[in-house]
Amino acid sequence: MGDLRSRFLDVYSVLKSELLHDPAFDFTVDSRQWVERMLDHNVPRGKLNRGLCVIDSYKLLKEGKELTDDEFFLACALGWCIEWLQAYFRVLDDITDNIPEDAVKRRGQPCWFKQPKVGLIAANDGTILHNHITRILKKHFREKPYYVDLLDLFNEMEFQTASGKMTDLITSTHVGERDLSTKFSLPLHLRIVQYYKTTYHSPYLSDEYTDCFGAPEVVGKVRYGIILNDSYMTQSGVVAEYESENYGKLVKSIEAHPSKAVQAVLKSFLTKVCNGHE
């Protein structure tokens, strides 16, 4: 895994260089340095399991056949698009959550919008991160027969996740309020978690559960909203139990798929979710 992560990061460096020297925009020295700093702060962070899972999944779909250098690069590039998408949502999420000064850490450092001289410029940086995804896809996948499908897939992920975030925001209480009983319910939580929020681009429940009960120095971030609302933590525990009870149903559904390779991919994801690896 160490070597895979290292090779994956090498592809990040290639993609970043391409974006920083994109001929479609006449960068100034300052603007290029800003974008590079913004990318390095937000994109190659954390475990990178979302992106690495793309490579693992492609290997499973190849059913033991060795990936060519071109196939490996494309799998990495697509994986990085997932990481770029996550960074885009994370930058905007930190702003919209309106978290206080004592809860602004992500992986031991301030959130991007809390960095010196950043502030609400981060909103525009989020737009840049979002736009980078389509530029990466255009450069490396435009000639592929599945190019339009990739664009459609990312558009769908963005729509579902943004809609879920909206549901989350209008349901959440204001800072200082603790009682969610009149607004929050298990069905609503399941709707946010299972059908929206970040489910479409990563298994969300394991993130939510570890955010609730994991130590910040281990999880890598402080989730103020969850800490503030005790009932939210209770809901997440109930949802974790709900997911555990449905594990067998998920396995049966996966095994009903006609392709053994696809079964292997889905079981791999299921294992990662249940073990809290994502």
Show pLDDT as tens, one digit a residue, over the chain (278 residues).
Answer: 568 899 999 999 999 999 999 999 999 999 999 999 999 999 998 888 889 989 988 888 888 788 999 999 999 999 999 999 999 998 998 888 766 555 555 656 678 888 889 889 999 999 999 999 999 999 999 999 999 999 999 999 888 888 888 877 777 655 445 445 555 565 666 565 555 555 455 443 334 333 433 344 434 454 444 433 444 444 455 555 656 667 777 788 888 888 888 888 788 777 766 665 44
Joined tokens for residue 227: 């800490």
| CB contact at 8 A, 1 and 17 | no
Buried/exposed 205-229: b ≥16 CB within 10 Å, e otherwise? bbbbbbbbeeebeebbbbbbbeebb
The pTM of this model reads 0.74
